[in-house]
Each structure stands twice: as C-alpha cells, then as structure tokens.
Amino acid sequence: MTDGQRTLKIGLLPGMIELYERLAPGLREKLGEVTVQAKAVLEAEGMAVAAGEVAATREQVRRECQRLGEAGVDLLVVAHVTYCPSGVLVDAIVEAGVPTVLWPAQPMFELRGETYDFDTVLLNHGVHGTQDLANVLRRRGVAFGVVHGHWKQKDTLAQLREFAAAGRALRAMRDSQPVQIGGHFEDMLDLPLTDQLFLERMGLRPTAVDVDEFAARIEGVDRSAVREMIEAYRREFRIDTAVDRDLLKKTAVGEVALRAVLNERNSTAFGVNFLTLCNDARVADGLHVAASRLMAEGYGYAGEGDWVTAVMVRGLMAAFEQASFTEIFSVGYADNRLVLRHWGEGNLALAREKPRLTASEFADRIEAKFAVTDFEFATGEARLVNWNATPDGRGQLVAIRGHVEEERLSKVGGPRAIFRPAVGDVREVLTRYAEAGGSHHLGVAYGVSDQTIQKMGRLAGWQVEVI
C-alpha cells in the first residue's frame, strides 16, 4: 500500500465570468490554451495534472470539481487567469472537500505599458478573482492556500509542489478510516480524543475493536495465511533463539487477524492499546511486529490506542519519503541530543540493516511473552511531528527540525535513534515544544520540509509551530 513515492497530482480548475463570453466570444478558447500551457509546465516539473474545462456557471464548476475529485487529485488549484466571481465557485469548491489553493495563473510575466490593452486585460486579471474568492472562503471559515507568482518562476512551481504534498497528506488523513484496538490507555490525556473540533471537521471518528472481538478474530484466522506469514518473518528478520516456533506462530496469528480487521473496515490507520491486549490470555500480544510491518506498507500506527497520531503518521507516509511512530525517551543535555524509541514497534522501511526479531515479556495481570522488532532508524535529515489540539479544540502541528545521527544505541532494544535538533540548545527546543502543547506521541518523518508542514497547516486551518 506504500504510496509516498506516487507522483503528486494537481487538479487545475480554470474559471471565467459568463459576461465575458458575450463581450469576447473567443475568450473561452484562449483561456483553455493558457490552461494547457500551465499544465505542460507543471508536468515538466514532474507533477501529474488533470485540467478541467473552463467553467463560467455554477453547474459547470460543480461538474468540473466532481470530475477532478474523482480523478483523485491531491490538490485543487483554482486557476484564476481572468476574473470569475466567488459566487460561481465557492459552493462547489467547498462541497468537493479537496485541499484548495488559489492561483492567478496569468500568462503575462512582464508588464509593458505600451502593449497593455483590453485583450491583455481579459487574459491577465485573475488577481482580483483570487481576492474575491479568498475573502469569501475566509469569511466562511474554509481553509485554503494562495500562490502568487508566474510559472516561469521556479519558486512558484516549488510552492505548488509543496501544497500538493501537503494536500496529499491531508487527504490520506481524512480517508484513513481509523481503527482503535483495545481502547485508549487509561489516564493518558495528552492524546486528543473525539471531542476535538479539528477532528470533527475532518469527519474523523475511530471504529472501536474491543478485546473480545479481536480474540474472536484470532480464533478464526486462516491457517495457511499463518504459515505464509511465518515464512515472511524468516525472510525479513534475523530471528533470535528466544523466538521459538510457538511464538512465531502466535505473532503471525495476531498479524493475520489484525490485517483482516483493517481490510474489512478499509482502514489505513490504527492505534493499539497493548495494555488491554497483553492482559488478555486469548491475545497476550501487543501486535508490535504487525504494526512494524504494516507501517512499512504505508499504514499509520501509534501505540496506546492513539488513533489520532496514527492518522497523522498515515498522512506523513502518504506524502513524504518515510515516517514512523516514535517517542522522545531521554535527553542529552550536555550534547544537545534526544533518544527516540518505543517498545518494539517502528517502520521497518527505516531500518539501517536487516531488523532483528526478539522476545519481550509483560507481567501485569498475566504473564505475556511476545515478539518485538529491534533496529536502528536510518540516518538523515528528519522532522519530529506532533498533531494535537489547541485550547479551543482546533488542530495544531508542532514540528522539530533535526537529524538522525550515526551513533548507535547498542544497549537497548526496539526501534530507536539518536536525534539532534537543528536548534542548538535542546533545552530551548523542549521548552518551546512543551509551551506549544506538544504531546508525548510523535511521528519521525524523512523527506518533509518546514514549508510543507506550514502548508499542511494552511490548507487545514491549523496552527503550526516549527522549532
């Protein structure tokens, strides 16, 4: 299911005012030619483009928005070449539910007073169409982005690409159909729940799978699928002697059951509460191996039943190189570094070398022995990203710029890394993160820029803090 490398797809929606068709009968065709020109430039930059027909009525706009939405575009670009009134555009754009950018895509690059005539006006005055629509969208509380610039300017194209990546992340989050298995970790209140305004606006609500349902799934798994899963483990992992055949089988049974749950619900993001599952003798497993393998396939995941962070991780995976669920475990104050780690789950696609499969134990209400993954995260520039709620219930992204370093953590297990923030003093980083309200669950994402994180916030109407 991995889709982070799929070509970004932009939908171009050109519009015009119906009055101009009567004043200048050939204008629609000229606007179509400009749209084709803009499409070619964007495609030359490596983006896929679906171009709508020039629309001048509400019905035409609605038809084109529907068509572009069905084409699976990551971003809807309202290409104001000439003027198109907001009343013609706004309802269909809002109904489409696709992340939207306004771009006055005029062909004129240089203003020459001696040649600026009425024909030039008709093909180059989308700027006040952008202003009209921006005003109305803002008054309605609809989030959007704006790009001002000519397609000959490389930074204009870069902005459109960044917005498209941000749009893909948001669409993947909205379409994730999250599942929460085993409920929410008791009293871990920093993880946003369903009463947050930003989740309601996205239409995000998890499907709950309790331990009884999951245990029943385990009982009914396909045995041939279990055998195939065990063989996959043997190919993909260095398996410790502590992981015997019985433990391999239990691990595979849990993963087969989990995949069935996700497939039935068309889900691409899930949170697992290990406390509930490990304390039930019918399961006795936190699904750490399954989570690690599914993240490598593009699924979003977070521990402790945190389906919200799982949704964010899914979005990061869909739009950028790779991402994984993680936490900040410890602080090196003297050398300004952080330890990233969790129990036994991490995106296997980020492993530096062939990951190890080892055994772990949990003793609370029962004795539970289960398999976990063990590896060091890949080195390179990365961002720690947190998605949480502001005091008024709206969304917020908090990101920390930095680098995953070469040095290893050889005395502890699990997916792990040493992360050096770009801001030199780790005390400042962590203070700013705490003051922004960042929670203890994060994604570590590779191939994502600060600008794209800012644009995710812009398109969704969230606050953004980049440290």
Q: State the pLDDT at residue 188.
A: 86
The answer on pLDDT for 158 being more than 90 is: yes
Q: 441-464: b or e for each residue (b if 16 or more CB lie within 10 Å)? A: bbbbbbbbbebbbbbbbbbbebbb
Query: Domains of the chain by range and CATH?
Result: 9-174 (3.40.50.10940), 179-466 (3.20.14)
Amino acid 191: pLDDT: 79
pLDDT digits (tens, 9 = 90+) for 92-115: 999 999 999 999 999 999 999 999
Query: Is the pTM here over 0.85, yes or no?
Result: yes
Report the SS3 class of residue 214: helix
DSSP string, 101-170: EEE---S--S--TTT--HHHHHHS--HHHHHHHHHHHHHHT---EE--S-TTSHHHHHHHHHHHHHHHHH
Enter the DSSP assignment of 55.
Answer: B
For residues 138 and 458, give the distance between their C-alpha atoms in angstroms, rounded to a whole number.
12
Band of pLDDT at residue 233, cut at 50, 70 and 90: very high
The answer to whether 269 and 300 have CB atoms below 8 angstroms apart is yes
The tokens of 387 are what? 């998605």
Cα–Cα dist 385/365, whole Å:
34
Q: Please give the C-alpha separations between residue 312 and each of 15, 169, 219, 411, in angstroms, as whole numbers.
A: 34, 8, 31, 30
* CB contact at 8 A, 102 and 146: yes
pLDDT score, position 21 = 85
* Paired sense of beta strands 9-14 and 48-51, if any: parallel
User: Which tokens in the block code for residue 201?
Assistant: 């606006």
Q: Is the dihedral of CA 62, 67, 73, 79 positive or negative?
A: negative
Give CA separation, 404 vs 337, 378, 381, 418, 450, in Å: 10, 7, 6, 6, 16
Read off the pLDDT band of 331 (50, 70, 90): very high
Summarize the confidence of residues 395-419 as an average pLDDT. Answer: 97
Average pLDDT over residues 428-449: 97
**pLDDT in the model for residue 160:** 98
Average pLDDT over residues 460-466: 97
Query: Is the pLDDT reported for residue 64 higher than 90?
Result: yes
Note the pLDDT of residue 4: 60
How large is the average pLDDT for residues 228-245?
Answer: 97
Instruction: Write out pLDDT tens, residues 251-295.
Output: 999 999 999 999 999 999 999 999 999 999 999 999 999 999 999
pLDDT at 190: 81
As a whole number, mean pLDDT of residues 21-32 equals 90
**What was the pLDDT predicted at 321?**
87
Q: What is the pLDDT of residues 360-376, one digit of tens each?
A: 999 999 999 999 999 99
Name the pLDDT band for 71 (thresholds 50, 70, 90): very high
Looking at residue 5, its pLDDT comes to 63
| Rounded average pLDDT over 220-240 | 97
Q: Does residue 195 have a pLDDT over 90?
A: no
pLDDT at 192 over 80: no
Cβ atoms of 384 and 300 within 8 Å: the answer is no
Q: What is the DSSP string of 8-40?
A: PEEEEEEB--HHHHHH-TTHHHHHHHHHHHHHH
pLDDT at 425 over 90: yes
Other C-beta atoms lying within 10 Å of the C-beta of residue 145 = 24
Amino acid present at 369: K
All residues at 6 or more sequence positions from 223 whose CB lies less than 8 Å from its CB, including other chains:
none
pLDDT of 125 above 80: yes
Task: Kindly state the greatest CA–CA separation across the chain.
Answer: 85
Closest CA to 377 of 442, 324, 337, 321: 324
pLDDT number for residue 1: 66
- Contact status, residue 252 vs residue 259, Cβ threshold 8 Å: no
Q: What is the mean pLDDT of the chain?
A: 95
Closest listed residue to residue 177, CA positions, set 324, 311, 275:
311
